[in-house]
Chain A
Amino acid sequence: MVQKLGQLKETPSQTAGPYVHIGTTPNWAGIAGVWKEDLGLGLVGPETRGERILVKGRILDGGGTPLKDALVEIWQADAEGLYNSPQERRGRADPHFAGWGRQPVDGTTGEYRFETVKPGRVPYRDGRLMAPHITFWIVARGINIGLHTRMYFADEESANAECPVLARIEHKVRVPTLIAPRAVENGLPTYTFDIRLQGEKETVFFDI
């Protein structure tokens, strides 16, 4: 008789629905007094090391309309390339940098904004360095399972050129969907990362 592996199945995903903010950012959603502050709204403090940047953008559906009910979470290394996680065994990350952020998109404009720092480089599984990147996770009404993607930095041309993950993308015309251009807004370096759920310029999403 063949032995059974005894593995369980992952709980199936379901859409976050239109009211994900009730449970994830209740104060922002107008449900005051349940808890003091919403998690993930601030990544940086005065003592955080590294170059301050603003990351902003919109999430566009297949008709080109920005989503107004989405929730965006980001996860990134600190300026030295270390993650603020117990699973990080290469060193100790900046204790003044959360590494994780959560923002609802604006209910009118559909824009999200994160004030953060530019991440350092972290290694791929074989030790080669990946280009600096921020991991994104997006949920909203109509998205049956959360979407994983990455934002890369347009001013990191040489690092992007040798990034083993970007190199995995066979359709080179799609690589620019992951690269955010840099500008300056109110004196702060600002990267604009629009995420397209469908269409010719559909963002590359990852099955990780």
Chain B
Amino acid sequence: MSDQGPFYHRDRSWHPPAFTPQYKTSVLRSPRYPLLSLDNTISEMTGPVFSHDAIGPLDNDLIRNYARTGEPIGPRIVVYGRVLDENARPVPGALLEFWQANAGGRYRHRKESYLAPLDPNFGGCGRTITDQEGRYWFRTIKPGPYPWPNGVNDWRPAHIHFSVFGHAFAQRLITQMYFEGDPMIWQCPIVSTIPDKAAVEQLIAALDRNNAIPMDALAYKFDIVLRGRRSTPFENRMEGN
């Protein structure tokens, strides 16, 4: 296992910068001093571990985990993929948490003000842990787009939020998954905080007809890449290579 080396430096030109005026909330919430570059220490190279025991049987089933009087409304989908590191090695035991709006584009949150209705059978949150090959999957309802108070008429494309714990605090990541073919992706001020088109495309899940469940659910494939670790030269070989 090459799990002891420090992590590759984060490519900050691939991630969105902190200050992105088209996304207005970032203006007052973006640090202006340069970040202090720091070699990874043990404080960043370690991280919490989450046991499979912490996960309940319905935690990766958003169609059933909040349903009370029936099934939630909307297109049923399966989202699946792998968590890999930048060396293309699978990341087993990664905790993924996800949250989303319902099919009408409404979040279950007391501060949500969009007039689309709440779905009484949809909570909008789930979680899972990757298996030994780094694989994960969950079942949900495809979220709807919704308007938000940024510009006068800004809308978010359909998306699912992901929070990812890999093996170290340095790998901690929150991101959003978008859906193949959605024209609204390219009009969104939050998506466009990402400077590189290829980086945006990395967030667009592919529609996978082959893995759709006939007469039940469409499938979308979304692989997630966490930071890779440098190999540690160990005696006369590169550990992990």
Which residues in A have some Cβ–Cβ distance to B below 8 Å? 6-24, 26, 29-31, 33-36, 39, 61-63, 65, 67, 69, 73, 75-77, 83-89, 98-100, 107, 122-125, 130, 133, 135, 137, 139-148, 150, 165, 168-169, 174, 197-198, 202-208
With A16-B161, A19-B109 known to touch, is A142 a contact of B15 (CB < 8 Å)?
no
The 10 closest A-B pairs by CB, nearest first: A23-B99, A142-B25, A100-B48, A85-B46, A142-B29, A207-B35, A62-B28, A144-B16, A14-B176, A83-B46
A–B pairs, 5, beta carbons within 8 Å? A11-B175, A17-B176, A22-B99, A26-B123, A174-B33
* Nearest-neighbor residue (CB-CB) of A36 within chain B: B56
Would B41 and A15 count as touching, CB distance under 8 A? no
Q: Scoring B residues 1 to 30 as 1 if CB is less than 8 Å from chain A, else 0, what string do you get?
A: 001101101111011111010010111111
Would B29 and A143 count as touching, CB distance under 8 A? yes
Indicate whether B78 reaches chain A with its CB closer than 8 angstroms. Answer: no
* Nearest-neighbor residue (CB-CB) of B24 within chain A: A142
Would B31 and A198 count as touching, CB distance under 8 A? yes
Would A146 and B173 count as touching, CB distance under 8 A? yes
A88 to B45, CA, bound (A): 9
Shortest CB distance A203–B (Å): 8
Would B98 and A13 count as touching, CB distance under 8 A? no
Residues from chain A with Cβ under 8 Å of B66 in the complex? 31, 33-34
Q: Scoring B residues 94 to 122 as 1 if CB is less than 8 Å from chain A, else 0, what string do you get?
A: 00011100000001111110000000000
Indicate whether B36 reaches chain A with its CB closer than 8 angstroms. Answer: yes
Known: A133-B43, A142-B27. 15 other contacts (CB 8 A): A26-B125, A35-B127, A84-B48, A85-B46, A86-B167, A88-B46, A99-B48, A125-B6, A144-B17, A144-B20, A144-B26, A145-B15, A146-B172, A169-B36, A208-B10
A202 to B111, CA, bound (A): 28
Task: Choose one: B43, B56, B190; the contact of A15 (CB below 8 Å).
Answer: B190
* Nearest-neighbor residue (CB-CB) of A134 within chain B: B43
A100 to B202, CA, bound (A): 30
A96 to B199, CA, bound (A): 41
Number of B interface residues at 8 Å Cβ cutoff, please give it. 91
Shortest CB distance B203–A (Å): 6
Task: Choose one: B54, B86, B124, B175; the contact of A9 (CB below 8 Å).
Answer: B86
A17 to B188, CA, bound (A): 14
Residues from chain B with Cβ under 8 Å of A31 in the complex? 66, 108, 123-125
Would A30 and B110 count as touching, CB distance under 8 A? yes
Residues from 177 to 201 in B contacting A, C-beta threshold 8 Å: 190-191, 193-194, 198-200
With A36-B56, A73-B172, A87-B167 known to touch, is A13 a contact of B43 (CB < 8 Å)?
no
With A137-B169, A141-B25, A144-B193 known to touch, is A86 a contact of B226 (CB < 8 Å)?
no
A33 to B43, CA, bound (A): 34
Residues from chain A with Cβ under 8 Å of B9 in the complex? 207
Indicate whether B170 reaches chain A with its CB closer than 8 angstroms. Answer: yes
Would B193 and A7 count as touching, CB distance under 8 A? no
Would B163 and A24 count as touching, CB distance under 8 A? yes
Residues from chain A with Cβ under 8 Å of B123 in the complex? 26, 31, 33-34
Would B202 and A143 count as touching, CB distance under 8 A? no
With A14-B203, A17-B161, A39-B54 known to touch, is A207 a contact of B37 (CB < 8 Å)?
yes
With A12-B14, A87-B167, A142-B23 known to touch, is A205 a contact of B42 (CB < 8 Å)?
no
Indicate whether B144 reaches chain A with its CB closer than 8 angstroms. Answer: no
Would A13 and B47 count as touching, CB distance under 8 A? no
